[in-house]
Amino acid sequence: MEKKNLILLICTVLSFFTVFAVNAVMVVVPSIASEFHMSNIVQNWIIIIFLLVVAVLSIPAGQISGKFGLKKVTILSIILFIIISIVTVMVKSSWQFLACRFILGISLSFINVTSMAMVVSAFAPEERGKALGINITGVYIGLSLSPVLGGILNYNLGWRSVVLFGVPFLFVILALLLTKIDDEWITFENVPLDIKGYFAYGIGMVLFMYGFTILNTLSGVILTVLGIIILIVFGVIELKQTHPSFDVRFFKNRKFLSSNFASLSAYLATFAVTTILNYHLQYIKGFDSQSAGMILLVAPLCQVVLAPIAGRLSDKFVPQILAAIGMALGTISLFLFSFLGSETPLEFLIVSMIIYGIGFGLFSPPNTNVIMSSVPPKDTSVASAAVATMRTVGQAMSMGILTLVFAFVMGDVPIVEQYYPLLISSCQMTCLVCVVLCIASVFASLVGMKSSSTLHK
C-alpha cells in the first residue's frame, strides 16, 4: 500500500475510535447512571467533561504536536488511551468514572488534531478534499456503528465491554505507526511553546464552559462572563506573541472565520440530538440499549454514504454552497425533532433522522476543506486544532444547552417515569433552540463564499 494511503487508513481508524469513545458511551449512559446512581445533570457530565477537556487542549495540541512531531504525539496519545480505558473498567464510583473520562479527553484531544494534520500533510492540495472526505467518513462510520455496537455490547456484556472495545485495534494502529511510518512532520521545531497563552485559553475556556452549564444560577453567570473576559485576554496575548499557540490573525481571513463559525454553530445545534434521541428511545419509548442503538444507526449511516461524495464535490464546486444546503436540511430535521413526544410514531422519527443525516453529511467535508485550505501548509496543525476546537466546543456547549434546559425545566433529579413529561418538554425546547443555531450556520457558510480572501495552498 502506498504510504500516503496507509496514513489515511491509520488516521481514518483513529477518527473512528475518537468518535466511538464519545458516542458509544453516550448510548450506555442510562446503564452507567443506574449503576453509579447519577442524577440527570451528573449523567450528562459523562459526555460534557470529556468534551470540555478536548476543547481546552485542542489549541495547545496544535502547537505541541507541530513542535515534537505529529507521529510521536499520536503514539504517546494512543498509549494513554489504552491505559486509561483499562483503568476505567475498574472504577467503583461516579467520580472515579468522570476522572477517567477527563484523562481520556487528554488523549483524544491530541489524536483529534494530529490525525487530521497528518492527512493534510500527506496529500497534495488537489487531492485534499477527497482525502478529508474519506477521513471524515471514519468519523461517520464511528457515528453509525457506535450506537449499534455500544448497544449490543452493553446489552450482552455490560458497559465495560464498550470502554474496552477499541483497545485491540489501537494496538494494531500503534504497531503500524512504529514500523511502517517514518515521517514525523515537525513544523514548529524551533518555536517556543506559548505557555502563557495555554493557561489563559485553558482557564478562560473552563470557566466559560462550566459557567454555561449552570447559567441558571448567579455563580454560573459570573463564571461565564469571567471566562469570556479571559478568552478576550487570550486573544490579546496571542496578537503580541511572535509564536502564538493559535494565530488569531487567521481569523482576518473571512473564509477561515466564517467556516469556523459555521462549524461551531453546526455542532452547537446538532450534537445533543443523539442524546435527545437516545433518551427518547430508552426512557420514553422503553427500548433496550441494543434496540435503541439499531434505530440510532439511521442518521449516521446517511452521513457515511454522503461524506466521501461531499468531499469530492467540494474539490469541484463551491464548498460553502454544499455546506449551506446541508445545514438547511439540518434545520428542517431539528424542527421535526421538536415534535417528539410519547405518542410520536417511530416512522416520523426515522424520516426526520434521514433528513438530519443527509444534511450533516453534506455539511462537514466541504466546510472542513475550506478551513484546512485557508492556511499555508506549515500551519496545517494549527488549522486542524481550530477544526477540533470548533467541533468540541460546539459539542460541549450543545450538551451544556441540554443540561441547562434540564436544570430549568426538570431540576436535578433522576430520570424516572414520574419525570418523563418534563424530559419530553426539555428535549423539545432544546431542539427549538438548536433550530436557530442551524440557521446561523447556514448564513455563516454563505458569508464565507462572498469573501475575496485567497486560499493558501
Residue with cell string 477517567:
100
Where does the pLDDT of residue 47 fall: very low under 50, low under 70, confident under 90, or very high at 90 and above? confident
Q: What is the DSSP letter of 93?
A: S
pLDDT score at 455? 41
Q: Is the pLDDT of residue 457 over 60?
A: no
Does 312 have pLDDT greater than 70?
Answer: yes
The angle subtended at Cα 222 by Cα 218 and Cα 225, nearest 5°, is 140
Q: State pLDDT tens for residues 213-247.
A: 888 889 999 999 999 999 999 988 888 887 777 77
CA 222 centroid distance within chain: 27
At a CB cut-off of 8 Å and minimum separation 6, what does 442 contact? Answer: 324, 327, 328, 331
- What is the distance between the alpha carbons of residues 108 and 159, in angstroms, rounded to a whole number? 20
pLDDT in tens, 238-292: 888 877 777 777 778 788 888 888 888 988 898 888 889 989 999 999 998 889 8
Predicted model pTM: 0.75
Rounded Cα distance between 230 and 214, Å, is: 18
Chain segment 331-346, per-residue pLDDT in tens: 999 999 999 999 999 9
Amino acid at 184: E
pLDDT at 449: 67
Residues, the chain: 457
